[in-house]
Structure 1
Amino acid sequence: MEQERGSPHVVRRQLLLGMVAGTAGLATARAASGQRGTASNWPDRPVVYINIFPPGAATDTLSRVYCTKMSELAGQQFVVENRSGAGGTVGQAAIAQAPPDGYTVGLGSIASLAIAPSILPDLSYDPARDFTFISGLWKVPNLLIVNKDLPVRTLPELVELLKKNPGKYTYGSSGFGTSPHLTMEMFKQRAGLNILHVPYRGGAPAKLDLLAGRVQLMFDNMPTVIASAREGQVKALAVTSAERNSAAPDIPTMAEFFPGFEITSWGSLVGPAGIPAPLVERMSSLTKQALQDPGLRRFFEENGATTWWTTSQELADFRTAQQRLFAEVIRATGAKVQ
C-alpha cells in the first residue's frame, strides 16, 4: 500500500484529481462570490435609465435630477435615454424586454402602468407580469393652463366660455392614455364640455402649440408648466391635487369648483421582470438615499413635485389599486383612443 501510494503513476493521478477538485472548488467559490456581488457590487458599469417620455417633459427633468444623485451614490453613471411614444408605452415595453441584470431600468408611470391597460386595446406588455417594481420616485399634480390670449382668468370663466362655444376650442395632451389626457376627459364629463382632443408625443410639444395658440388649453404635470405660468406665458387656472400646492399656493384646486376632483400623477423606478431580490433591495436602498437628499427634495418641491419612496411590494400593490381606480374613471368618462 505504501509502495502504491508512492508510485509516480499514482502520484500523478492524485495530482490531477486534486487539480480538478481545486478547479471545481474555485469555480464554485467564484460563482458564489458572483452571486453575492450581484447586489453588493452593483453597479460596476453604467446603468441605462429609460425615460418613457420625451426631453423637456416633467418626467425628463425629475428623472435627470434623480439620476444625477444616483450616479453620485452608486459611483457609476445613470444614463438617461428618452424613448417616447404612445403615451409612454413604447419606452415601457423597451424596459420590459431588457435583460433582468439591473443595468437597464427606467420610469414606470401612471399613464403606462395604471391607465394604459384600460384604454389601449393592443398593449404589448402586462404591467402585473412583465416588470420588477423597485420604488416610487415622485408624485405631482396636473396643472390646468390656457393660452394667455384666451379671454378668461378663472376656472368658472373658462367653463362659461367653453359652454358658449361647443366644439370651437381644442385641448392638447401628452398623449392618449396619459394622466393629462384623462384629467381633461374627467373635466369635460364633470363640466359638460365639448372640446376636441389633440394628442402629442409628450407634454413639451403640446405646450409649444398652446403657446402658439394652435390649441387653447391643456393639463400637464406641474413641473413642466409652472415656470411658464410664473413668467406669464400661459395662464394657470387650477391644480388637480386635493389641496393647493406649496409651489403655487395662489392657484386653486379643481376640487374647489368640482368637489372630489383629484388626479395625482406619479413616477416610479421599474425594471424588467426577474431582477433578483437582493439587487432590488440594493437599488431601492440607494433610491431612498437619493430621495432623502435635501437638494433633490428642494428641487422637487420648487417644481411642484413630492418625493415618494416605497418598498417594492408597496409599489406593486399601489399600481394594482391605481389600475382598478382608473378603469372606473375611464368607464365613467368614456375616454378612449380616437
Structure 2
Amino acid sequence: MATNFPAKNIPELIALLRSRPARDLAYGTSGVGTSVHLAGALFGQLTGTEMEHVPYRGSGQVTTALLSGELSIAFDNFSSVWPLAREGKIRILGVTSQGRAEAAPDIPAIAETVPGFESLSWHGLFAPARTPAPVVQRLQREAAAALAAPAVAQRFRELGITPVGSTPEEFRAFVEAETKRWGDVAKRANISID
C-alpha cells in the first residue's frame, strides 16, 4: 500500500472496498495471470469485494507506481517489497502465507482476517519427463544441500523467503494441487491469458 492509503489493516481495507464501487479502487500486479494477480482475485472472492485489476510489466513498475502515488494498492511478492516497507516507503497490510513471515512477525497474515486465504509464490527445479531417476535424485539432493547452506538459508530469511525442498513426488503432487486450485480461481474470476 501507499503510505497515505486510508486503510491501515485488512479489516479496514475490506470495509473500504465494500463501501465503494469496484472501479473506484484498483490494485496493481506484475501482469495478467501472474500469481499476484490470482492472489488479488482470490482476495476478492473470499471477501466478496471487487477491485479493478491494473497489470504492469513487472514488479518494478508496480513499485514505481506505488511510490509515485499512481497506484494505492498492489499485490506483490514479499521479497520484492519488504526492503521498501522497512524503509517506510510503503506499507504492507498483510502477508499472503497462512502464518506471519519470519522476517516480519509484526505484519499479520491476511488469513488471520480472511480464513482460507493463502497465496504463495514458489519456484521449483524441473527436468524433462524422461530424465533418468538417478539424475533426478542427484539434482534433488544437490538442490536441497544448496538450500540448506547456512549463507543461502540466512539470505532467504532476510528476504522473507522460506526454502522448502521436497522430494520429486511431493513436488509433483504440490504442482498438481496448485494447478487445480489456481485454475479454479482463474475460472471464477474470468482470467485468461491470450
1:246 has 2:102 as partner: yes
The match for 1:278 is 134
Report the number of matched residues. 193
The match for 1:156 is 11
The match for 2:20 is 165
Selected match of 1:236 from 88, 92, 95: 92
Distance 1:299 1:161, change over 3 A: same
Cα distance in 1 for residues equivalent to 2:184 and 2:52: 22
Paired residues of 1:239 and 1:245 also in contact (CA < 8 A): yes
Distance 1:191 1:308, change over 3 A: same
The match for 1:316 is 172
Secondary structure at 2:91 match in 1: strand
Secondary structure at 2:66 match in 1: helix
Matches within 5 A, 1:124-163: 146-163=1-18
Paired residues of 1:169 and 1:215 also in contact (CA < 8 A): no
Cα distance in 1 for residues equivalent to 2:57 and 2:131: 30
Distance 1:206 1:271, change over 3 A: farther
TM-score calculated relative to the size of structure 2? 0.89
Q: Give the residue type in structure 1 aligned to 2:123.
A: G
Selected match of 2:160 from 294, 300, 304: 304
Secondary structure at 2:76 match in 1: strand
How far residue 208 of structure 1 moved from its aligned partner, in angstroms, is 1.4
Matches within 5 A, 1:282-293: 282-293=138-149
Please give the per-residue CA displacement for 1:70-92, whole angstroms capped at 9, x wherever unaligned: xxxxxxxxxxxxxxxxxxxxxxx
Secondary structure at 1:280 match in 2: helix
How far residue 182 of structure 1 moved from its aligned partner, in angstroms, is 0.7
Secondary structure at 1:152 match in 2: coil
Paired residues of 1:240 and 1:263 also in contact (CA < 8 A): yes
Q: Give the residue type in structure 1 aligned to 2:6.
A: P
1:222 has 2:83 as partner: no
Over the matched positions of the two proteins, sequence identity in percent amounts to 39
Q: Give the residue type in structure 1 aligned to 2:120.
A: T
Secondary structure at 1:198 match in 2: strand
Paired residues of 2:103 and 2:158 also in contact (CA < 8 A): yes
Cα distance in 2 for residues equivalent to 1:313 and 1:263: 22
> Which protein has the larger Cα radius of gyration, Structure 1 or Structure 2?
1
TM-score calculated relative to the size of structure 1? 0.53
Q: Which consecutive residues of structure 1, in runs of 5 or more, have no partner in the other structure?
A: 1-145
The Cα RMSD (Å) is 1.9
Cα distance in 2 for residues equivalent to 1:274 and 1:202: 33
Matches within 5 A, 1:177-192: 177-192=33-48
Paired residues of 2:41 and 2:185 also in contact (CA < 8 A): no
Q: Give the residue type in structure 1 aligned to 2:148.
A: Q
Please give the per-residue CA displacement for 1:81-108, whole angstroms capped at 9, x wherever unaligned: xxxxxxxxxxxxxxxxxxxxxxxxxxxx
The match for 2:150 is 294
Secondary structure at 1:271 match in 2: coil
Q: Give the residue type in structure 2 aligned to 1:317.
A: A
Please give the per-residue CA displacement for 1:249-287, whole angstroms capped at 9, x wherever unaligned: 111111121112122221101234433333322222211
Which sits farther off after the overlay, 318-327 or 223-232? 318-327
How far residue 337 of structure 1 moved from its aligned partner, in angstroms, is 4.5
Q: Which consecutive residues of structure 2, in runs of 5 or more, have no partner in the other structure?
A: none
Q: Give the residue type in structure 1 aligned to 2:2.
A: N
Distance 1:279 1:337, change over 3 A: closer
